[in-house]
Structure 1
Amino acid sequence: MGELSVQKRTAKDYASDQEVRWCPGCGDYAILKQVQTVLAELEIPPEQIVFISGIGCSSRFPYYMNTYGLHGIHGRAPAIATGLKLVRPELHVWIITGDGDGLSIGGNHLIHLLRRNLDVKILLFNNEVYGLTKGQISPTSRPGQRTPSTPWGSFETPFNPVAVAFGAGATFVARTLDRDLAHLRSVLLRAAQHRGAAFVEIYQNCPVFNDGAFAIYTEKETKPENALFVEHGQPLLFGAARQKCLVLEGTTPRVISLTDGLPQNVWVHDQTDRTKAALLVQLLGSPDSGLPRPFGVLYADPRHPTYEERLLHLRQQYAQQHPDLLTLLRGRTWWEHR
């Protein structure tokens, strides 16, 4: 009697039959493909996955996934995901949002989901512009950026999404790029495996309204000197020949050129060290400063209990009790009229 062969899932098993309707060259295509690839690698049944989005170009994502999905209203994906996760905690819930949807109208919902540590994965597509509404500035647009809403250039201070997520208490914070497929896939895989609220900022190129916004981090001529790819337990090295490293002088990052090996005070990445992570998420870097910008898993600590686990514990604790309804309604202080 022959052995039964188990056919492994492929990325195509997670692709819907809907026509993908993003602009040609949009970075969303690469993200969609890598998400489908990661889900196939993890062998998660499509019927156990839910993608929830708000409003924006990225929010069409659920239509293109052969899973359950919900295209919600502007900024409210975290609220919908919270309700779903509490009712069906066994489901794999993903939130797809953008820099406008997630950090403007949806900012308050996002930070509270993160601080509660629901077991939800949040992918924030950051193109530093409102794409769906034709190119206005977003909460991550840079000072001086000219758009239809800022013809003289933006004078606002932008959000740093990973710093916002870290400050809100996310137990997993990462940054990656749409044009580095191997890195994108590895970060998405780590996020999917994390137990708790996982926040991933993805630099996503908008070829229509903000083309080349992240070119210094994606193009081979400029990427080595400006992008720092961090790995847990490894020194922070960068440069065309990995000839530079970061050291900490107090709480100030400095760049050191390597001549005689690694210095004793080289900064070794520890993704569980919250103190150093606080410095790392603030390290934006620029060609003028000589400092690079970090990519990868900046912080991850799965030891914190999830919101669902704490709620279940509370329910089990009080399920054994039989409180008197009248006592509950009266409360601790009450007056009786005679």
Structure 2
Amino acid sequence: MSDSNVTPLTKKDLKSDQEVRWCPGCGDYSILNSVQTVLADLGIARENLAVISGIGCSSRFPYYMNTYGFHTIHGRAPAIATGVKIANPELSVWMITGDGDGLSIGANHTAHMLRRNVDVKVLLFNNQIYGLTKGQYSPTSPVGLRTKSTPFGSIDRPFNPVSFALGSGATFVARTIDTHPKHMEKIFHAAAQHKGTAYVEIFQNCVIFNDGCFDSVANRKVRDDRTFDLEPGQPMVYGKEGDKGVRFDGFDVEFTDAANAEVWDPTRPTTAAAQILAELDADHEKPTAIGIFRQVQAPTYDGGVRGQVNQVLATKGRGRLEDLLKRGETWTVS
């Protein structure tokens, strides 16, 4: 982004006049604060920002942003965000969704946005529960979770959002934690700079219906030992003293000392290594990977549409709607 396109902003400039209504202690507050901090740093004019959401607690987000915004319908935020970006390519479009909104009724729409590589930044709040509708199990709820809709425990195998995104062909995939604001802001900055769909899963605590769901990795007392950060071009190390490391042994992951840690490369031509690391969070005996799993460049869908339109305009000129409507066979009904 050139200096001529930077608008001096503060976090306060991005706060709307609406009262923020989430439950006290909800992780959404931290995410909102981090997004406002990052967008202020980027200096994108508010009229060039659009926040699109679906349905759920997370989807109240547009009300709290002093930007353009659209609170859409359940699961359809990707379709609306795609249309917004195509219609106005100058906008920086951010899509807010949750594990229920984006991975149940909206999973199909999300998958197609990812494979198309629409230039939209997707933040998926994952609290492994339906919060707004009062505590039913969601597509990411772990097996055995007792909820109002699974009183004897969920028997569904849960979705892994990062694996889902990688399998859908996403060009930027990352994971962060609501209680780790510095890491969140680093990831959001990287997502904002990516040209194409940037998909970020956020471990987000629901204090009412699924409190402590990520404590085994997110709690500050254990986080350094239970997570390792995938930083491009840096060794995969972790631990309070930074003395532990991660490396690949074929298709297996080996946990070793920091001196033998492997340097992480999210630009690998295949997603195999990223998929292996994404699945580590299913095994509580091993640390969980956060950070950037994939970061590659590919043509964007919105760029392709605009290019096609410009090519047709250059060769055929601008048409008339009346001619289009009357083209082909017509009938007159009297």
Q: Normalized against structure 2, the TM-score is what?
A: 0.90
Q: Which runs of 5+ in 2 are unaligned?
A: 1-5, 318-322, 329-334
How well do the aligned residues superpose, as a CA RMSD in angstroms? 2.2
Q: Is the 8 A contact 1:191 1:198 kept in 2?
A: yes
Aligned to 2:306: 312
Q: 1:85 & 1:321 partners in 2: Cα distance?
A: 24
Q: Is the 8 A contact 1:166 1:281 kept in 2?
A: no
SS at match of 1:299: strand
Q: 2:316 & 2:240 partners in 1: Cα distance?
A: 68
Instruction: Decide whether aligned partners of structure 1 residues 274 and 162 sit closer, same or farther in structure 2, where only a CA change above 3 A counts.
Output: farther
1:278 to 266, 275, 278: 275
Q: Is the 8 A contact 1:85 1:91 kept in 2?
A: yes
Q: Is the 8 A contact 2:128 2:138 kept in 1?
A: yes
User: How does 1:76-95 map onto structure 2 within 5 Å?
Assistant: 76-95=76-95
Q: 2:264 & 2:257 partners in 1: Cα distance?
A: 18
Deviations 1:160-196 (A, max 9, x none): 0011111111111000000011001111111111111
Q: Is the 8 A contact 1:161 1:201 kept in 2?
A: yes
Residues matched between the structures, number: 317
Q: 1:204 & 1:298 partners in 2: Cα distance?
A: 19
Stretch moving more, 149-158 or 215-224: 215-224
Q: 2:220 & 2:84 partners in 1: Cα distance?
A: 42
Stretch moving more, 75-84 or 271-280: 271-280
SS at match of 2:281: coil
Amino acid at match of 1:281: A
Q: Is the 8 A contact 1:285 1:292 kept in 2?
A: no
Aligned to 1:334: none
Aligned to 1:333: none
User: How does 1:141-180 map onto structure 2 within 5 Å?
Assistant: 141-180=141-180
How far residue 267 of structure 1 moved from its aligned partner, in angstroms, is 2.1
Amino acid at match of 1:254: E
Q: Is the 8 A contact 1:127 1:210 kept in 2?
A: yes
Q: 1:268 & 1:133 partners in 2: Cα distance?
A: 43
Amino acid at match of 1:162: V
Aligned to 2:206: 206
Q: 2:206 & 2:51 partners in 1: Cα distance?
A: 22
User: How does 1:25-40 map onto structure 2 within 5 Å?
Assistant: 25-40=25-40
Q: Is the 8 A contact 2:248 2:254 kept in 1?
A: yes
User: How does 1:267-306 map onto structure 2 within 5 Å?
Assistant: 267-275=262-270, 276-284=273-281, 286-288=283-285, 291-301=286-296, 303-306=297-300
Q: Is the 8 A contact 2:114 2:168 kept in 1?
A: yes
Q: 2:52 & 2:284 partners in 1: Cα distance?
A: 37
SS at match of 1:94: strand
Q: 2:205 & 2:90 partners in 1: Cα distance?
A: 34
SS at match of 2:170: coil
Q: 1:321 & 1:46 partners in 2: Cα distance?
A: 36
Q: Which runs of 5+ in 1 are unaligned?
A: 1-5, 331-338
Q: 1:8 & 1:109 partners in 2: Cα distance?
A: 35
- The sequence identity of aligned pairs, in percent, is 53
Instruction: Decide whether aligned partners of structure 1 residues 286 and 226 sit closer, same or farther in structure 2, where only a CA change above 3 A counts.
Output: farther
Amino acid at match of 1:174: A
Q: 1:65 & 1:320 partners in 2: Cα distance?
A: 39
Amino acid at match of 2:238: F
